Chain A
Amino acid sequence: MYVHYSACTCMFVCELQRVYMYVCTCTTVHVHVSLNMHSVLLSQDNAIRTSKYNVFSFLPLNLFEQFQRLANAYFLVLLILQLIPEISSLSWFTTVVPLLLVLTMTAVKDASDDIVRDGRYYLLPLSECLSQADLLLLTSSEPLNLVYIETAELDGTFILKCVFPTGEVRCEPPNNRLDKFKGTLTVNGQTYALDNDKVLLRGCTLRNTEWCFGLVVFGGPDTKLMQSSGKTVFKRTSIDGLMNVLVLCIFGFLAVMCSILAVGNAIWEVREGSVFIAFLPRPNGVNAGFSAFLTFWSYVIILNTVVPISLYVSVEIIRLGNSFYIDWDRKMYYPKSDTPAQARTTTLNEELGQIKYIFSDKTGTLTQNIMTFNKCSINGKSYGRSIGEKTQTVDFTWNELADPKFVFHDPSLVELVREGDLAAQHFFRLLALCHTVMPEEKTEGELYYQAQSPDEGALVTAARNFGFVFRSRTPESIRIMEMGQEVTYDLLAVLDFNNVRKRMSVIVRSPKGKLILFCKGADTIVYERLHPSCLKLKDTTTSHLNEYAGDGLRTLALAYKDLDDDYMEDWRRRHHEANIAMDGKEERLDELYEEIEKDLMLLGATAVEDKLQDGVPQTIEQLAKADIKIWVLTGDKQETAENIGYACNMLREDMTEVFIVAANTAEGRDVTTSISCFANVITHNSSPKAYALEKDLELELLRTACMCQTVICCRVTPLQKAQVVELVKHYKQAVTLAIGDGANDVSMIKAAHIGVGISGQEGMQAVLSSDYSFAQFRYLQRLLLVHGRWSYLRMCKFLRYFFYKNFTFTFVHFWYAFFCGFSAQTVYDEWFITLYNLVYTALPVLGMSLFDQDVNDRWSSQHPQLYSPGQLNLYFSKKAFVRCMMHSCYSSLILFFIPWAAMYDTVRDDGKDIVDYQSFALLAQTCLLIAVTIQLSLDTHYWTAVNQFFVWGSLSAYFAITFTMYSNGMFLIFTSTFPFIGTARNSLNQPNVWLTILLTSILCALPVVAYRFTLIQLWPTINDKVQVRHKVRKEALPAPAPRRPPVRRISTRRSGYAFSHAQGYGELVTSGRFLLRRPQKIRTALLFPQSDSPLSQGQPQHIHKG
């Protein structure tokens, strides 16, 4: 079914990799899509609003949103409860002040977010062509309207696109199939079919094309890329989830406490209150039962501090602070591209300390996506520098056409070529002829190659520098410069590459009339087809190949064969017949290729390095030590991916069973169940279906994969990447992180708990949907092992301490209830209740949770095992919470009953009152504050000046504020608000008050010290051990290991042969379509042969090309 899809008549003009949009008339739907262009073109009259609020709607809208949050709504209910005089056990300000503060802070944050959001679209980098929509290509600057684009982000290859003229478009509804597009175009009454070749998908980049015109078919969220990118979900950390559960538990607990106290009140009212009515008459209609009911709500108000409103604010502040540290970290700043790390989401920090699975993209993330021609073996001799060896680079200035960026380290090879060694010349001739590269020479001598795979580009460039310059091609010929002399070869056939053949060949006729077949391919394949005379050379070359493979290089074997004319004539005839055969064409061609590609003469081998990003193997090693499992998910071929696996130490020779699962088919199941292994490579076969992970195979796959040390998934589509992530997330209940750089990683970045974008050359798609971004893969180590670990530690310490201090605070009220007839009388001054969380204890705990570090960054990188507590949820869990509550319970008993007993029946040193309510309140609150401050000091490991300032400052502030509020002036001005006049002066000058405070402090702190000391002595954690080594024994940090090259492996497997492109280009370069400039009518007829498309049931839509 095809729906009428409305597209607006916007045109894009792409110029030198930039997109400008030229708007003719815009209908409704897609205007928002290309906002950035609008902002440039139409910013005056056609501005588009992306911000949520305006000046007037801000306050009501924002307040409405804020009160939708459960916590805020709860506090609003509390406030309403407090306004009922029968219930109100606290003055209104105890809730209003914190609530106002919280609302204001949140509102300010929302407003600033909104301002940022308002500007965000305008800041989108415009250099990314096609950053916003899928285009139907109309015309371009290039011959025959060809467009060079790079879709490395989508499927890792270069492809060429063709064009068509204007008309009316009908197409399929938006979907997530990157490889399919169906639609029709009607021009002048003629209908043409549109397929995938005619569409520029969002996310690809224009290369070497000056401009092109396109028609938007899908925009914004409807683009194929976005459709396959998965939904953006609001991410929450597991601590958040736990916190919500705990808060619910606390509510339950609160209800239980209040019920107990309400029952207590009912009993008291019956037994004592009924006889006390002489002094305190009950209001009309209040009996014991009703009084208990009111008491319940009064205690809800008093005890609500177990869920203090400042919890959520403080958590946000801590996360924000820790996010800033990431932004500020110089060790995650990449000077070459001037890119600092960026925490784009500020709410996920502590989860960085709990990662168990990393899903990494390959191209652009682990590798630089740069191939370099590193070594070669010619006629049994190996050239090129061994790793670690220092040699001078080769001077190519003698070659005018050389690529200045090319670097080679063995001058002897150049000499060999220049001396005219035949084997060497033949070797490079092969490289210059046997490929599908498209050349571009805008001005004389300035050559650009459009290669389908970077490997091919590297090989042709190498040939170019060694004096065999590929200059141009036609469908029938290839023109090259051989050591300065121009030679044109007739191209007779291209025996194209495919996954089964693992080789490609060309048959050319030299100007002298010699017929030669040049073949390059995977060594195993080429070896099978060698002439027996090459046996000796084969052995030498094999040893070289082993050496190259051991270095992690991608190898190809090169061979040639002279053909005789008669045979060739016959072969070409049969080839032509096969080509036009109606059925069995593929098989017949294959047979023909097999026939001619035999008895080859071995020339040598090439070794191309797929350059890893800096420090990737070391990073992976460290992360693996931290017990983090790394899965590589790549769209690449299996061989490429496997090779990278070896290169970055994920796969090692000692992993005995590398096995491959074709998880797509039912047979996959047999494979998965039968093998137990050390290491696996999981392959998803290139599947036409986007839903490759079928339900019944999911679990099987996961079970197998999790038994493996290393998992590499290849040929996965963006959607499958997300599915793999979801699978692990769902069944392993583990915290996952996805890291990638391109648009094809967006889906998994969004699916994982944490998405990390590499901000490289591949555009901003991944970064824009990521939570954290930086420029180099190796920064991941610091992000997790240092920032993540600290964030987790700090957050957990914060939560433990926060719950401790509030439970202790609240429990004291609970104990006092038994002495005040359950009348909901508070123990502390109302102002103390108001300011306790906001002022007296806010900054010290913030200081701890912003600055604390148990071991410094170098030691946490040095000991990746320090990371494991986070993965095991050791620092904050339900168990830790219960422990926290028990500790609070103990402390509150001390903090209430010691002052109670110490003050019982005593007097001041002048015989006057000191057991009055106000003095006792002051004593109890001072004891509490000092006890929780001592607890904080015990929890703080890292006392910076700021911490000292916060702790001492808060204590001083407490006394200063207390003395101020209890002063004559405050009382005389606000008589009923500050009734505690003189209490501080009269009781804090009493020795017995201070001795009580001292005793409670000792009794609260000593068990903690003793308990912790015992733990350290008996069961030291890894943290304790590292700290002892670091601080007590002052062990020096071992010098950072030099970047040693990986130990050479003696390898016999060379799966990573240097082909990474899809088949089909041979056909393209010989078809001639790319070169002929034909009249428009002929061209369209050629490109759209089916003039009566089956797609014409849909409703037509008129698009006018401007």
Chain B
Amino acid sequence: MQGLLGKPLGRVHWSNKAAKTGPLAHRPDNSAFMQQRLPAWSPMLTTSTVLPFMYCMAVLCLVVGVSLLITVQGTQEMKLDYTEAGTCNNCFQSLKNVSNAGKSCSCRVVFTLEHEFKGDVFFYYGLQNFHQNLRKYMDSRDDAQMVGRKQNLKNPSSYCEPYIRDEKDVPIAPCGAVANSMFNDSFALQYQGQPGDPINTVPLYRKGIAWYTDENVKFRNPPKNKSQTLAQVFEGTTSPPYWQKPVYLLDPLDATNNGFINEDLIVWMREAAFPNFKKLYGVLVRTQEPFTNGLPAGNYSIDIVYNFPVQYFKGRKQVVLSTVTWFGGQNRFLPIAYLVTSGLVFIIAIFLTVIWWKFGKDAKNMNE
């Protein structure tokens, strides 16, 4: 019967690897991995690790909290809501009338610094209840245009909806809702030590206020020939509808601070994460008296060109003067949070110690 087939049939093995032969051909390898015997570290939550760790944590948090608190106490900050303050109330009222939108309005607010602001002083403008973090709003920009792509200058991305082109179908540069809503109040700070003293204009350095990477990589003007002026480069585009000045004339004083690399624009384009935010406007120049040590105590006034309408969205506008430390601005949350955490951890640690003392020490539970 063997002849029927011509070949004998044996048991065919499942494995077609046939790597090994012999009686133990299918024996699994004796490797630590395959036998699940990999050397390992098995930490446990034992008393000797957890309790010391807890107390250490409490101490660590306490140390961090105290040192941070000391640091933060060293910063000084002055906030001034100028939405309706001083003569700005007039501007506020007049802007309520929509027909006055776009008209310039100047006003002045005054304040007094009780103490000297030592060191570098930063001048911020702040907005409250302005939602730079709305999804549609944030998306409404074209990074390719802002990085100076010729292509995108004239054909802004569809992301810029609804500010891609104006009614005449001229492309907007910079396009999008973010750029269109750029904060356009301007400030001039004056110092008068005592009433009757001479009025000093506080010099503010208006450059170097944006991130280095934004200034040098993310925002670039479109390439131009040597012969071309910036205005020529932007020819064929129009400025966003809410703007009073075209993008190439944003800084009348410094020609290199115009176009997409204007620092105010860059600062504005870095959208805030929350509806209340402040943005850097300028840094005190400490080259001349009496500002070499910072801002002296005394009376100050700010001349404001009041353009930015906040009444539509129940917003508020502020100016903020602040010094900084290695820890940043004056935010006391972290130091206090560390101190509270330290307390909590300490209480928990004591609680755990008690539990261990009463129940776990003699390991009664463990032996049952």
Interfacial residues, chain A to chain B (CB-CB below 8 A): 13, 15, 18, 20, 22, 40-41, 89, 119, 122-127, 210-211, 272, 275-276, 278-281, 283, 298, 325, 327-331, 333, 335, 338-340, 790, 819-821, 823-825, 851, 853, 857, 898, 900-921, 941-947, 968, 971-972, 975-976, 979, 981-982, 985-986, 990-992, 995-996, 998-999, 1002-1003, 1006-1007, 1009-1010, 1012-1014, 1016-1020, 1024-1025, 1027-1029, 1031-1032
Assess whether B26 is in contact with A1009, with CB atoms less than 8 Å apart.
no
Q: Which residues of B contact A1025 (CB under 8 A)?
A: 365-368
Query: Is B280 in the interface zone, CB < 8 Å from A?
Result: yes
Partner of B136, one of A278, A823, A1032: A823
Assess whether B352 is in contact with A1014, with CB atoms less than 8 Å apart.
yes
Count B-side interface residues using an 8 Å CB cutoff.
117
Interface string of B311-350 (1 = CB under 8 A from A): 0111000000010111111110110011001000100100
Interface string of B210-226 (1 = CB under 8 A from A): 11111001100000000
Assess whether B177 is in contact with A909, with CB atoms less than 8 Å apart.
no
CB distance from B356 to the nearest CB of A (A): 6
Assess whether B42 is in contact with A279, with CB atoms less than 8 Å apart.
no
Q: Which A residue's beta carbon lies closest to that of B159? A: A976
CB distance from A1026 to the nearest CB of B (A): 10
Partner of A333, one of B28, B131, B267: B28
For chain B, residues 105 to 131, give those with C-beta under 8 angstroms from any C-beta of chain A: 120, 122, 124, 129, 131
Assess whether A907 is in contact with B328, with CB atoms less than 8 Å apart.
yes
Binds A, one of B188-196, B268-276, B299-307: B268-276
Q: Which residues of B contact A991 (CB under 8 A)?
A: 326-327
CB distance from A933 to the nearest CB of B (A): 15
Binds A, one of B5-13, B167-175, B229-237: B5-13
For chain B, residues 78 to 92, give those with C-beta under 8 angstroms from any C-beta of chain A: none
Given the interface pairs A328-B29, A820-B131, A1017-B360, the reply to whether A912 lies near B280 with Cβ below 8 Å is: yes
Partner of B42, one of A298, A902, A941, A976: A941
Complex: how many Å from CA A1007 to CA B211? 38
Assess whether B61 is in contact with A1002, with CB atoms less than 8 Å apart.
yes
Q: Which B residue's beta carbon lies closest to that of A331? A: B35
Given the interface pairs A280-B177, A329-B28, A914-B328, the reply to whether A819 lies near B274 with Cβ below 8 Å is: yes
Complex: how many Å from CA A945 to CA B33? 11
For chain B, residues 16 to 44, give those with C-beta under 8 angstroms from any C-beta of chain A: 16, 23-30, 34-36, 38-44
Assess whether B271 is in contact with A904, with CB atoms less than 8 Å apart.
no
Complex: how many Å from CA A916 to CA B137? 14
Complex: how many Å from CA A968 to CA B312? 38
Query: Is B253 in the interface zone, CB < 8 Å from A?
Result: no
Q: Which residues of B contact A330 (CB under 8 A)?
A: 27-28, 30, 35
Assess whether A946 is in contact with B34, with CB atoms less than 8 Å apart.
no
Partner of B41, one of A122, A272, A943: A943
Q: Which residues of B contact A1012 (CB under 8 A)?
A: 45
Assess whether A335 is in contact with B334, with CB atoms less than 8 Å apart.
no
Q: Which B residue's beta carbon lies closest to that of A941? A: B42
Interface string of B36-64 (1 = CB under 8 A from A): 10111111111100100110010001001
Given the interface pairs A280-B136, A902-B333, A1017-B365, the reply to whether A982 lies near B213 with Cβ below 8 Å is: yes
CB distance from B144 to the nearest CB of A (A): 4
Q: Which B residue's beta carbon lies closest to that of A322? A: B36
Q: Which residues of B contact A335 (CB under 8 A)?
A: 23-24, 27
Q: Which residues of A contact B338 (CB under 8 A)?
A: 995, 999
Assess whether B26 is in contact with A906, with CB atoms less than 8 Å apart.
no
Complex: how many Å from CA A281 to CA B242? 13
Given the interface pairs A919-B273, A944-B40, the reply to whether A18 lies near B9 with Cβ below 8 Å is: yes
Q: Which residues of B contact A1007 (CB under 8 A)?
A: 348
Complex: how many Å from CA A918 to CA B281? 20
Complex: how many Å from CA A126 to CA B11? 6
Q: Which B residue's beta carbon lies closest to that of A987? A: B211
Q: Which residues of B contact A1020 (CB under 8 A)?
A: 365-366
Partner of B147, one of A898, A975, A986: A975
Assess whether B54 is in contact with A820, with CB atoms less than 8 Å apart.
no
CB distance from B99 to the nearest CB of A (A): 14
Given the interface pairs A916-B273, A917-B132, A1032-B44, the reply to whether A853 lies near B5 with Cβ below 8 Å is: no
Query: Is B97 in the interface zone, CB < 8 Å from A?
Result: no
Assess whether A913 is in contact with B279, with CB atoms less than 8 Å apart.
yes
Given the interface pairs A912-B211, A981-B213, the reply to whether A1002 lies near B38 with Cβ below 8 Å is: no
Complex: how many Å from CA A283 to CA B161? 9
Assess whether A904 is in contact with B326, with CB atoms less than 8 Å apart.
no
Query: Is B257 in the interface zone, CB < 8 Å from A?
Result: no
Which 6 residue pairs across A and B have the least CB separation, nearest first?
A: A982-B213, A1017-B360, A920-B273, A328-B34, A911-B122, A906-B331
Q: List 13 A-B contacts (CB under 8 A).
A: A335-B23, A340-B28, A821-B134, A903-B273, A904-B333, A908-B324, A915-B272, A942-B40, A943-B42, A975-B143, A995-B338, A998-B64, A1018-B365
Complex: how many Å from CA A553 to CA B46? 52
Complex: how many Å from CA A1020 to CA B44? 13
Assess whether A40 is in contact with B133, with CB atoms less than 8 Å apart.
no
Assess whether B218 is in contact with A127, with CB atoms less than 8 Å apart.
no
CB distance from B251 to the nearest CB of A (A): 18
Q: Which A residue's beta carbon lies closest to that of B60? A: A1002
Assess whether B42 is in contact with A942, with CB atoms less than 8 Å apart.
yes
Q: Which residues of A contact B278 (CB under 8 A)?
A: 905, 907
Complex: how many Å from CA A995 to CA B180? 36
CB distance from B51 to the nearest CB of A (A): 8
Q: Which residues of A contact B16 (CB under 8 A)?
A: 119
Assess whether B270 is in contact with A996, with CB atoms less than 8 Å apart.
no
Given the interface pairs A20-B1, A902-B331, the reply to whether A912 lies near B40 with Cβ below 8 Å is: no
Q: Which residues of B contact A821 (CB under 8 A)?
A: 131, 133-134, 275
Q: Which A residue's beta carbon lies closest to that of B142? A: A976
Complex: how many Å from CA A14 to CA B46? 68
Complex: how many Å from CA A1010 to CA B16? 53
Assess whether B274 is in contact with A900, with CB atoms less than 8 Å apart.
yes
Partner of A917, one of B272, B341, B355: B272
Q: Which residues of B contact A904 (CB under 8 A)?
A: 274, 276, 331, 333
Q: Which A residue's beta carbon lies closest to that of B28? A: A328
Q: Which residues of B contact A820 (CB under 8 A)?
A: 131, 133-135
Assess whether A339 is in contact with B26, with CB atoms less than 8 Å apart.
yes
Assess whether A1003 is in contact with B341, with CB atoms less than 8 Å apart.
yes
Given the interface pairs A280-B136, A945-B38, A1013-B50, the reply to whether A917 lies near B271 with Cβ below 8 Å is: yes
Query: Is B243 in the interface zone, CB < 8 Å from A?
Result: no
Q: Which B residue's beta carbon lies closest to that of A1003? A: B341
Assess whether B309 is in contact with A911, with CB atoms less than 8 Å apart.
no
Q: Which residues of B contact A122 (CB under 8 A)?
A: 12
Interface string of B152-166 (1 = CB under 8 A from A): 000001010110000
Q: A330-B30, A904-B276 are in contact. List 20 more A-B contacts (CB 8 A).
A: A89-B135, A125-B11, A211-B1, A275-B312, A276-B313, A298-B135, A790-B36, A907-B278, A911-B120, A912-B209, A917-B138, A975-B147, A975-B149, A976-B142, A986-B211, A995-B338, A1002-B57, A1002-B61, A1012-B45, A1017-B356
CB distance from B231 to the nearest CB of A (A): 25
Assess whether B217 is in contact with A971, with CB atoms less than 8 Å apart.
yes
Given the interface pairs A13-B1, A918-B270, A1032-B46, the reply to whether A819 lies near B329 with Cβ below 8 Å is: no
Query: Is B293 in the interface zone, CB < 8 Å from A?
Result: no
Assess whether A913 is in contact with B270, with CB atoms less than 8 Å apart.
yes
Query: Is B283 in the interface zone, CB < 8 Å from A?
Result: yes
Interface string of B56-75 (1 = CB under 8 A from A): 01000100100010000000
Interface string of B200-211 (1 = CB under 8 A from A): 000000000111
Complex: how many Å from CA A821 to CA B328? 28
Assess whether B325 is in contact with A909, with CB atoms less than 8 Å apart.
yes
Q: Which A residue's beta carbon lies closest to that of B51? A: A1013
Complex: how many Å from CA A89 to CA B139? 10
